[in-house]
Copies of this chain bind each other. A is one copy, B any other.
Amino acid sequence: MRYRDAGVDISRSDAIKDQVIAEIRSTWGPEVRPLVGGFAGVMRYPAVAGKPPMLAATMDGVGTKLHLAMQAGRLDDAAADLVYHGANDLLVHGARPLAFLDYVAQAKLAPEAVLDVVRGLARACREVGAALLGGETAEMPDTYLPGVIDVAGCMLGTVDDDALLDGSRVRVGDHVLGLAGSGLHTNGYSLARRVLKASGLTLSDALPGGAGERVGDALLAPHRWYGRSVLPLVAAGRIRAMAHVTGGGIAGNLVRVLPEGCLAQVNAFAWPRPTVFQWLMQVGEVPEEDARTALNLGVGMVVVADSGDAGAVTAALQAAGETVWPLGVIASGERGVEWLES
């Protein structure tokens, strides 16, 4: 029995190695220390006024969006989404991206798929300003179903002590703003895939009720990153709290950053619900309550701002390219989120 008979051929991925390395290096600034054959990535950590900022970190998976992405030949986009997802999670705490590390696993490594993934990761890392500092590819025939891939990753970032957002700044009377998303982002894809199947449509069919876009484009729209528009406001101390709308929906995520005694009242009809969500709910016969938990319904990020500044914050976000809706207010009450139905 030779080693490669046992299902692992460590030389197979050599073919794409150079391309992968080139992609990775395209994300490196002078802060990264290139280590030939390194066992780990090493980089300089920033200092602000001679002091290291706090380290923020989050781990995420792409989830089942990967399956649709594979079908559509858009693995790179799904991988990029993972970076945007992690960067948005950090952003909630006022942190800016510093570095990213990925984990790519399959039953049998398809070098082209790995390259697609790394291409997407590298592109998104360049966009959010993170160095792709490391990664692991795993080949596990007895763990993964044939032909599928899983991609997870760890986003690292930094946040100055006085910029840290931890929910404690929220005050009764604050305004709640919703920032438009670009689609499902990276959430609700188990549901979406079932609905797609039930609908009998393919990814290249037109989205029913849409303006001509294809189902695939609607379902695979990239996860929007909000850092470019939001970070300047964070630095200026004008954001009280943020919530990245992922699993759990608007309410399930907003509640996570509310202090005791703060009840967010959110108008369920404060924004136009994008066609793709209407289609998913209709074809899937998804009850309103479930849709609000499973899907972002068009709001990718929630921002809480002082009532007196909310108008100016809205204007600044709009000027930076965001679509912003006033969702509601922070009322006095038991910590939670209340939906207003009119």
| Residues of A in contact with B (beta carbons under 8 Å apart) | 1-3, 5-8, 10, 33, 35-47, 50-61, 63-64, 66-67, 89-90, 92-93, 95, 98-99, 101-103, 105, 133-136, 138, 140-145, 148, 150, 152-159, 164, 166-167, 190-191, 193-195, 198, 243-244, 247-248, 253, 255-257, 284-287, 290, 293-294
Q: Does A60 lie within 8 Å of B136, measured CB to CB?
A: yes
Q: Report copies per complex.
A: 2
Smallest distance from the beta carbon of A234 to chain B beta carbons, Å? 14
| Residues in B neighbouring A140, C-beta threshold 8 A | 61, 63-64, 150
A-B contact pairs, 21 of them (CB 8 A): A1-B285, A5-B194, A7-B190, A35-B93, A35-B166, A35-B167, A39-B89, A39-B256, A40-B56, A40-B58, A45-B45, A46-B52, A47-B52, A52-B52, A57-B101, A58-B101, A67-B142, A103-B103, A141-B190, A143-B145, A154-B154
The residue in chain B whose Cβ has the minimal distance to the Cβ of A195 is B1
Complex contacts, A153 vs chain B, CB 8 Å: 59
Residue from A5, A10, A61 with most neighbouring chain B CB atoms (10 Å): A61
Q: Is the CB of A103 within 8 A of B61?
A: yes
- Bound together, the chains give a CA A143 to CA B144 distance in angstroms of 6
Q: In the complex the two chains form, what is the Cα distance from A110 to B125 in whole Å?
A: 33
B154 close to A37 (CB less than 8 A): no
- Determine the distance from Cα of A197 to Cα of B154 in the docked complex, in whole angstroms: 36
Known contacts A45-B54, A61-B138, A152-B105; is A257 also within 8 Å of B145 by CB? no
* Cβ contacts under 8 Å, A193 to chain B: 6, 142
Instruction: Report Cα–Cα, A257/B238, bound state, in Å.
Output: 48
Please measure, in the bound complex, the distance between the C-alpha atom of A23 and the C-alpha atom of B259, giving whole angstroms: 24
Task: Knowing that A42-B54, A57-B156 touch, tell me 4 more A-B residue pairs with CB under 8 angstroms.
Answer: A1-B286, A57-B154, A64-B142, A105-B150
User: Please, which residues of chain B bring their CB within 8 A of the CB of A40?
Assistant: 56-58, 89-90, 92-93, 95, 155, 157
Does A244 contact B33, Cβ atoms closer than 8 Å?
Answer: no
Q: A54-B45, A60-B136 are in contact. Are A1 and B143 (CB under 8 A)?
A: no
Contact B103 A3 (CB under 8 A): no
